[in-house]
Amino acid sequence: MSIPSAQYEDYADALEMIDDEDMRFEYIIDIGKKVKDQDFPEDWRTDDHLMHGCMSRVWIIDEVKDGKHYFRGFSDAIIVKGLVAMMTGSFSGLTGDELQKIGTDHVRRLNLGALTTQRQVGMMAMLETFKKLGSAGGGTVAGLRSANA
């Protein structure tokens, strides 16, 4: 399926255009640096919103509006922050059903070679978290839900 997210296309196109792995790596760092502390207030960084199984801490929250999921995330490491921003930006604005249709290939377009296997696994885990939140919510409740819901 195509993902109705301009952000996803922007990220994927940008990464495809950069043909040097080091530059791609730096691109992800730059995205991470743009995420500011105030974008994800301290009181959201609770254990409830923590994603399990990550090397560095990752918090994800899911806001549901009109049946669509809007994810936001944060990490204490910049590179992970960049990946989280790319993932939440790319896969927000989808319904629960649409989220279930996102495949690993969609995610793969976002990490073209610049990442270690461990980080690629981390991104797939993030996708699983989005799907879980998507299926648990079904778009009926507005508000924040935890990544471990």
Residues contributing to the site for another protein (CB under 8 A): 21-22, 25-26, 29, 33, 55-56, 76-80, 116
Buried/exposed 85-122: b ≥16 CB within 10 Å, e otherwise: bbbbbbbbbbbbebbeebeeebbebbbeebbeeebbeb
Shorter beta-carbon distance to another protein: residue 10 or 21: 21
Taking the complex as a whole, the smallest distance from the CB of residue 32 to another protein amounts, in Å, to 8
Q: Is 54 a catalytic residue?
A: yes
- Active-site residue identified among 15, 35, 51, 54: 54
Nearer Cβ to another protein (56/100)? 56
Short-list 10, 12, 149, 5, CA closest to 70? 5
* Residue 145: strand pairing partners: 62
DSSP assignments along 39-82, one per residue: GS-GGG-SGGGBPTT-SS-EEEEEEEETTEEEEEEEESSHHHHH
Question: What is the closest distance, in whole angstroms, from the C-beta atom of residue 98 to another protein in the complex?
Answer: 32
Residues 94, 3: Cα–Cα separation, whole Å: 8
Q: CB 83 → another protein: shortest distance, Å?
A: 11
Q: With respect to another protein, which residue has the nearer C-beta, 55 or 144?
A: 55
Task: For the CB of residue 59, give the shortest distance to another protein in the complex, in Å.
Answer: 14
Residues recognised as catalytic: 54
